[in-house]
């Protein structure tokens, strides 16, 4: 019988009389059953009999007046126990199952049939009427429905009432459910993993691969295919699980889709969870305003709102409270939305403020996880009562939402700016690293050049010392050569003096031999020194060839000219020296020719001639040494020139480094200026966009005025059509004396048209109207006037002054400048 009552409320489209009669009989049966149970408790000797088809009671029916006070008290206790059984979903499911599976158990039938008191009878009847007449009740008595929902929806009505509250009873997506189950979702592995964590202690879901887990998987998979942006989130499985406890999976799927779309849950479960951040911000502001001491304590302990309240919003307290209390809160959520979550959350904090003020962060977490869920095992009535005493201002919540949006927008802008600055910083760092590498390479080249210059200076110093030594040796050789020449002259003089004598002193010969030996030694030393200088000159040439070239062409040309001048001077000196050597050789050859015949006489004369020959050879070698010395000087000059060029290269490198540093500073300054210009251009662009929006709005307003004017003209045209139909029946009365008057009217109309084309354009532009639109409206009116003039003349609408009057008081003034339409006292151009 109880099943029949539920079917009545679930399917209100059954015939009203039939269902009403069935409900009346069912309620009377419930009353009789309760009375019989009370009499059975009072007289244990009463016996009950059951049949396979129905259950009847054999004891007589007792009224409440015939019961004693003890029996009435016992009956009241029994009704209280039945009420508790009604709120317990597990006991209710076991009672219903036992009724379906066995009709022979009288105790189960009796306990299931006695779970309604007189008050509950009225509640069931009231909810039955509400469900049956839902549309009218929702429109006319919305506040009363909300009050009833706050007191709790009866368990058997929850499924249909939830569907009615969210308007999910006739959704088109319900027909797609079976097709969605055949498809494959990318979230299937995640859903399978989390199903075992959803209501793990509930009988419907705790067994692996049970019916409950399978339907939960189906609903979550179907929604992940419908809304691919959200996909799957673990918190949503608890909401779907609660829906599946109350209704089949297709209806649960439709209700869940409605909740996600219309109750802000979709925004909560998006991957960005921006809506959850907004809820946390609003809830934290409510705590700061209404519980300032607790807010200060939370801040001192670094106990953020998201650490304890995020699950409240994501699961609507389904993971925080017992199922009975959470279901009551979910009833109100279906009726009023997320407001109940804010109210209940703040009520929880108010009721636990004293305990929370004395705990640290870990203690508060433990308190929310272990103590708070068991505070409402007896029922959430007190919590709901306190929740509706909390101050909740919807306007202030909208203001907080705008503030949060502004803060997030600024954060996003700051993040974009930070990202841009990081990119610029990275680019600048790369440029700085490049410049540092270039500067380091230039510094290395500079240091290497300085080292090379130091080495060259040292080598130059050594060469100069050696050159000074060679010069000294050359001077000594020149001195010796002069001394030898003096000796030769003396010898020649002696020879002239001693031409007649045939003897030379032995001392003189020995002295010549010694001088010859010394001359050969000095010649050998000068040759060694010359060879060493040549080797050093070759090394310097190799080093100079390894130096890099530079781009300063003008200075290089000047240096090249100076070098060529020096080289030319050296070549001229070398040519002169070679000419001297050549002259000496020719002189020597002539001397040999002259003295060939005379020196064959005596051995002493031969010895003297040999000495003279060697002396001449020494002179020749001296001349050659001087030539080679000049060549060495020339190479020294070239080395000095190359050293000067290298110093110029280093100086130019230093100048390039300083120029690059100046360019870096200039670029950084220019970059700052460009950033300032970019900011200013953005501001100007924003101002221009605002002006454009204002101009667009003004244009739209003018277009709306024009459209309204056209609509008024169309209305006048319709009225004229009606008057035309009325005038057809009276138009045959006055055909005479009308053609002349019509011609006059046409002349006046032509004048009005001319004035409209010349004078109205300025007025239209002055008033912001579209002249083309105005002209088309006027032409339309003139055409109507020309077509209908005969009928209006027949009707006698014209007066003696030449005015054309409409039947409703509208007038066209033919003699004036304006075409005026007056309708019920309102005039427009």
Q: Which two tokens stand for residue 24?
A: 């009346």
DSSP 26-87: HHHHHHHHHHHHHHHHH-TT--EEE-SS-EEE-SPP--GGGS-HHHHHHHHHHHHHHHHHHH
Higher-pLDDT residue of 822 and 706 is 706
List every span in the chain annotated with CATH 1.10.8.270: 166-271
pLDDT at 279: 93
CB 640 within 8 A of CB 648: no
Which of 42-56, 365-379, 815-829 is the least confident region? 42-56
* Reported confidence tier of residue 380, pLDDT bands at 50, 70, 90: confident
Q: Which two tokens stand for residue 387?
A: 């929740």
Best CATH choice for the domain 166-271 from the list 3.10.270.10, 3.40.50.10380, 3.40.50.620, 1.10.8.270: 1.10.8.270
Average pLDDT of 386-408? 90
pLDDT at 260: 92
pLDDT at 750 over 70: yes
SS (H, E, C) 77-139: HHHHHHHHHHHCHHHHHHHHHHHHHCCCCHHHHHHHHCCCCHHHHHHHHHHHHHHHCHHHHHH
Instruction: Report the chain's C-alpha Rg in angstroms.
Output: 61
- Helical (H) or strand (E) element with 821: strand 821-823
Higher-pLDDT residue of 731 and 383 is 383
CB 660 within 8 A of CB 438: yes
Average pLDDT of 391-408? 90
Higher-pLDDT residue of 205 and 94 is 205
List every span in the chain annotated with CATH 1.10.472.80: 306-392
Q: What global pTM score does this model have? A: 0.44
* Reported confidence tier of residue 98, pLDDT bands at 50, 70, 90: very low
Average pLDDT of 487-497? 79
Average pLDDT of 515-538? 81
Nearest to 118 by CA among 81, 88, 76: 76
pLDDT at 482 over 70: yes
- For residue 168, give every residue at least 6 positions away whose Cβ sits within 8 Å of its Cβ, in sequence order, or none: 162, 251, 254, 255, 257, 258
> How many angstroms separate the CA atoms of 4 and 13, rounded?
14
Nearest to 640 by CA among 778, 467, 518: 467
pLDDT at 27: 47
* Reported confidence tier of residue 557, pLDDT bands at 50, 70, 90: low
The per-residue pLDDT of the chain, averaged, comes to 74
Of the ranges 289-298, 459-468, 580-589, 748-757, which is most confident?
289-298
DSSP 448-517: HHHHHHHHHHHHHHHHHHHHHHHHHHHHHHHHHHHHHHHHHHHHHHHHHHTSS-----HHHHHHHHHHHH
pLDDT at 106: 29
Q: Which two tokens stand for residue 11?
A: 């399917």
Average pLDDT of 404-424? 88
Q: Which two tokens stand for residue 675?
A: 């950033």
CB 660 within 8 A of CB 435: yes
Buried b (16+ CB within 10 A) or exposed e, 66-84: ebeeebeeebeebbeebee
What is the per-residue pLDDT across 239-276, written as a single tens digit (0 to 9) for each? 999 999 999 999 999 999 999 999 889 888 988 888 89
- Please count the residues of the chain: 829
CA atoms within 13 A on the CB side of 226: 24
pLDDT at 783: 57
Q: Is 766 exposed, middle or buried (0-12, 13-18, 19+ CB in 10 A)?
A: exposed
| % of the chain surpassing 70 pLDDT | 68
User: Alpha carbon 802 to chain centroid distance?
Assistant: 74
Average pLDDT of 612-622? 74
pLDDT at 537 over 60: yes
What is the domain class of 306-392 according to CATH?
A: mainly alpha
pLDDT at 63 over 50: no
Higher-pLDDT residue of 36 and 624 is 624
pLDDT at 621: 77
pLDDT at 441 over 80: yes
């Amino acid at each position: 019988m109880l099943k029949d009552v539920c079917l009545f409320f679930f399917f209100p489209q059954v015939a009203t009389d039939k269902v009403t009669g069935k409900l009346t009989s069912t309620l009377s049966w419930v009353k009789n059953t309760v009375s019989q149970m009370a009499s059975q408790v009072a007289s244990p000797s009463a016996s009950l009999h059951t049949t396979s088809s129905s259950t009847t009671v054999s004891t007589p029916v007792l009224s409440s007046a015939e019961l004693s006070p003890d029996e009435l008290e016992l009956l009241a206790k029994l009704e209280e126990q039945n009420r508790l059984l009604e709120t317990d979903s597990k006991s209710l499911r076991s009672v219903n199952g036992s009724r379906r599976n066995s009709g022979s158990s009288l105790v189960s039938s009796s306990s299931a049939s006695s779970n309604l008191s007189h008050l509950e009878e009225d509640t069931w009847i009231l909810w039955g009427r509400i469900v049956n007449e839902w549309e009218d009740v929702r429109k006319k008595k919305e506040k009363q429905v909300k009050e009833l929902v706050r007191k709790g929806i009866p368990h058997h009505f929850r499924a249909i009432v939830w569907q009615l509250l969210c308007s999910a009873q006739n959704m088109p997506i319900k027909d797609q459910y079976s097709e969605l189950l055949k498809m494959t979702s990318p979230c299937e592995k995640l859903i399978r993993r989390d199903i075992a964590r959803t209501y793990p202690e509930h009988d419907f879901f705790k067994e692996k691969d049970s019916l409950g887990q399978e339907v939960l998987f189906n609903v979550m998979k179907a929604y992940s295919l419908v809304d691919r942006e959200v996909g799957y989130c673990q918190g949503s499985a608890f909401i779907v699980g609660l829906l599946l406890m109350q209704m089949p999976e297709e209806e649960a799927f439709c209700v869940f889709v409605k909740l996600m779309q219309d109750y802000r849950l979709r925004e909560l479960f998006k991957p960005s969870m921006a809506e959850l951040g907004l809820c946390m911000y609003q809830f934290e502001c409510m705590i700061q305003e209404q519980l300032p001491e607790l807010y200060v304590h939370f801040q001192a302990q670094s106990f953020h709102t998201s650490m304890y309240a995020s699950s409240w919003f994501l699961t609507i307290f389904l993971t925080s409270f017992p199922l009975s209390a959470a279901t009551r809160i979910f009833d109100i959520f279906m009726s009023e939305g997320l407001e109940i979550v804010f109210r209940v959350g703040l009520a929880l904090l108010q009721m636990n403020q004293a305990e929370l003020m004395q705990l640290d962060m870990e203690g508060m977490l433990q308190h929310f996880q272990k103590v708070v869920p068991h505070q409402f095992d007896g029922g959430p009535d007190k919590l709901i009562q306190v929740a509706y005493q909390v101050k909740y201002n919807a306007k202030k919540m909208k203001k907080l939402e705008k503030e949060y949006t502004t803060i997030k927008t600024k954060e996003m802008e700051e993040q974009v700016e930070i990202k841009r600055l990081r990119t610029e910083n990275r680019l600048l760092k790369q440029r700085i690293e490049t410049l540092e590498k270039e500067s380091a390479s230039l510094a290395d080249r500079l240091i290497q050049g300085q080292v090379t210059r130091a080495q060259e200076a040292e080598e130059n110093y050594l060469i100069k010392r050696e050159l000074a030594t060679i010069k000294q040796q050359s001077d000594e050789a020149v001195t010796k050569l002069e001394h030898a020449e003096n000796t030769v002259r003396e010898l020649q003089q002696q020879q002239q003096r001693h031409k007649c004598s045939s003897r030379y002193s032995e001392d003189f010969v020995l002295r010549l031999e010694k001088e010859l030996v010394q001359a050969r030694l000095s010649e050998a030393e000068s040759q060694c020194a010359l060879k060493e200088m040549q080797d050093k000159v070759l090394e310097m040439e190799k080093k100079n060839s390894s130096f890099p070239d530079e781009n300063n062409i003008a200075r290089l040309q000047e240096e090249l000219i100076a070098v060529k001048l020096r080289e030319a001077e050296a070549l001229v000196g070398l040519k002169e020296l070679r000419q001297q050597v050549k002259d000496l050789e020719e002189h020597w050859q002539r001397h040999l020719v002259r003295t060939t015949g005379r020196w064959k006489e005596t051995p002493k004369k031969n010895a003297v001639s040999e000495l003279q020959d060697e002396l001449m050879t020494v002179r020749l070698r001296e001349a050659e040494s001087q030539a080679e010395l000049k060549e060495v000087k020339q190479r020294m000059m070239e080395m000095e020139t190359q050293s000067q060029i290298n110093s110029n290269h280093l100086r130019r490198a230093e100048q390039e480094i300083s120029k690059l540093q100046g360019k870096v500073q200039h670029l950084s300054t220019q970059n700052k200026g460009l950033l300032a210009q970019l900011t200013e251009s953005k501001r100007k662009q924003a101002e221009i966009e605002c002006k454009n929006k204002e101009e667009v709005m003004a244009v739209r307003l003018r277009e709306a005025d024009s459209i309204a004017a056209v609509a008024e003209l169309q209305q006048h045209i319709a009225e004229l059509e009606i008057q035309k139909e009325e005038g057809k029946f009276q138009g045959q009365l006055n055909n005479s004396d009308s053609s002349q008057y019509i011609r006059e009217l046409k002349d006046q109309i032509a004048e009005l048209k001319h004035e409209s084309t010349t004078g109205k354009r300025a007025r239209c532009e002055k008033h912001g109207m579209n002249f083309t639109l105005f002209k088309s409206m006027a032409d339309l009116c003139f055409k109507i006037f020309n077509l209908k003039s005969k009928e209006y003349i027949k009707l006698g609408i014209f007066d003696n002054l030449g005015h054309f009057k409409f039947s409703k008081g509208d007038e066209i003034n033919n003699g004036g400048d304006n075409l005026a339409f007056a309708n019920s006292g309102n005039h427009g151009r």
